[in-house]
Amino acid sequence: MDFSFDAISAEEYERLRSSYEPLTDALRTLIDVGIHTEVDDETVQEALTHLQQAAALLQRRQRDGRSTLRHADTGRPVAWANPAVGLRNAIAPPMIIEQEPDGSCWSEFTLGPAYEGPPGWVHGGICALVLDHILGEVASEGLLQPKFTGTISLRYLRGTPLGPLRAEAFVERSEGVKTFARGYLLDSEGATVEAEGVFIKPAWARDAG
Amino acid sequence: MDFSFDAISAEEYERLRSSYEPLTDALRTLIDVGIHTEVDDETVQEALTHLQQAAALLQRRQRDGRSTLRHADTGRPVAWANPAVGLRNAIAPPMIIEQEPDGSCWSEFTLGPAYEGPPGWVHGGICALVLDHILGEVASEGLLQPKFTGTISLRYLRGTPLGPLRAEAFVERSEGVKTFARGYLLDSEGATVEAEGVFIKPAWARDAG
């Protein structure tokens, strides 16, 4: 486990974000388009050549992913790579998580066809991914404290439709090294999935308070 | 909810798979490369042009995603689009799920850097995604029966390292419309996450037996 980090200024963060975010957005489009394309094999080959050329260009200089970047201003980790919130990870919707003054968190995001399980509905495991993430974030005070999921339980109240959604989470209570968090995934008509989780401060971080 | 389907022959399935799978693999590579690239803005623009050209080619003919394809031979849904098992969804690892004669399921797959949460470890929500999927699959007899997740509980025993992993699931018991399933995510040293779930046959499918 490596919790070392390099600091990054707000200015540098914005420069990198404006350079790389369009790339991730283009990949998100390609994920959707790739699932449903019916073009002939010749056109597939042509598209494939473009993808390989893009990969070769981007591979020219690669950052080793081992250390975590943190904002110099806020001290929070920079969410580039994370599969739920990573601005540079095309797997992530991405969730942009907002912190309220009372410590609760919320996020509004859209889940499109790439996240579909049963026809028209979000895959239950994707609901679990977004809820695990936002509960973990609220339990760790916006990732300022290292906390790991101990247990999480999800109750599926009804199907979650593809489209615009909201997730919310708050801390119910803390007992020693355990933090109890609760949250919801919601569509425009209310909650579709309820989650509760227990998050644990790892032994190596317990002296740090 | 649309459970209508078009049948697809084994031959046609293989033809489509061999045509489109390299495309999805190229996108999986690009997702990883895109997270960690440090090339300059000019090179990003060049790569972006290739990605946009590939998307334009693949958009020329798109299948509408509403109906589910099923194998003419097995009757099972074809897993093209699913975010856990979809061969054509670059978000999916993909898990290839094997059915044992006793009804249990297992899958061996690799989770690389795109699935990382804490440095070096699989994101807890990704563990939840793969376990939700394999439990749902075992509860629905390989998706032959429509079943929806009612509840799922995950216990994180220790961190799950990035790399080769295995998931297993089996049905513990059934009571009326409820099926109780249990499963594990494992690395080479044993279980890292344990899951139990209750899956429910929807009302509209209850007469079909």
Domain edges within chain B = 1-83, 95-205
Q: Are A93 and A27 in contact (CB under 8 A)?
A: no
pLDDT score of A209 = 45
Q: How far is A94 from chain B (nearest CA, A)?
A: 13
Least confident of A12-16, A126-130, B3-7, B153-157: B3-7
Q: What is the pLDDT along chain B (209 residues), one digit of tens a residue?
A: 444 567 888 888 899 899 999 999 999 999 999 999 999 999 999 999 999 999 999 999 988 755 567 777 777 777 889 999 999 999 999 999 999 999 999 999 999 999 999 889 999 999 999 999 999 999 988 767 778 889 999 999 999 999 999 999 999 999 999 999 999 999 999 999 999 999 998 877 776 54
Q: What is the pLDDT of residue A208?
A: 53
pLDDT score, position A161: 97
Per-residue model confidence (pLDDT) at position A5: 62
Least confident of A111-120, A180-189, B185-194: A111-120
Q: Give bridge partners of residue A5 from the DSSP assignment.
A: A68
Give the model's pLDDT for residue B208.
Answer: 53
Give the pLDDT of residue A190. 98
Per-residue pLDDT band for A1 (boundaries 50, 70, 90) equals very low
Work out whether the CA dihedral B174, A157, B97, B128 comes out positive or negative.
negative
Q: What is the pLDDT of residue A198?
A: 97
Answer whether B57 sits within 8 Å of A46, measured CB to CB: yes
Name A138's Cβ contacts closer than 8 Å, sequence gap at least 6: A103, A104, A105, A169, A170, A171, A181, A183
Distance (Å, whole) CA A55 – CA B30: 6
Q: Does B180 or A71 have the greater pLDDT score?
A: B180
| ipTM of the complex, rounded to two decimals | 0.92
The mean pLDDT of chain A is 90
Predicted confidence at residue B5, as pLDDT, reads 62
How is residue A161 annotated by DSSP? B
The minimum CA-CA distance between B201 and chain A, rounded to whole Å, is 13
What's the CA gap between A22 and A29, in Å, rounded?
11
- Record: contact B59-A19, CB cut-off 8 A: no
Is B132 in contact with A129 (CB distance < 8 Å)? Answer: no
Query: Could you tell me the CATH superfamily of domain A95-205?
Result: Hotdog Thioesterase (3.10.129.10)
Option in B1, B19, B41 nearest A119 (CB): B1
Chain B residues with CB under 8 Å of A136 CB are: 124-125
List chain B residues with CB under 8 Å of A34: 20, 23-24, 27, 58, 88-90
CB contact under 8 A, A65 and B41: no
Position A173 pLDDT exceeds 50:
yes
The band of A96, judged by pLDDT with boundaries at 50, 70 and 90, is: very high
- Is A39 within 8 Å of B61 when comparing Cβ atoms? yes
Of all residues in chain B, the one with the smallest CA distance to A89 is B35
A2-16, A18-32, B120-134: which range is least confident on average? A2-16
Residues above pLDDT 70, as percent of chain B: 93
Question: Looking at CA atoms only, how far is residue B63 from chain A in angstroms?
Answer: 5
- What dihedral do alpha carbons A125, A88, A1, B191 form, nearest 10°? 20
| pLDDT value of position A91 | 96
Q: So what's the pLDDT on residue A207? A: 63
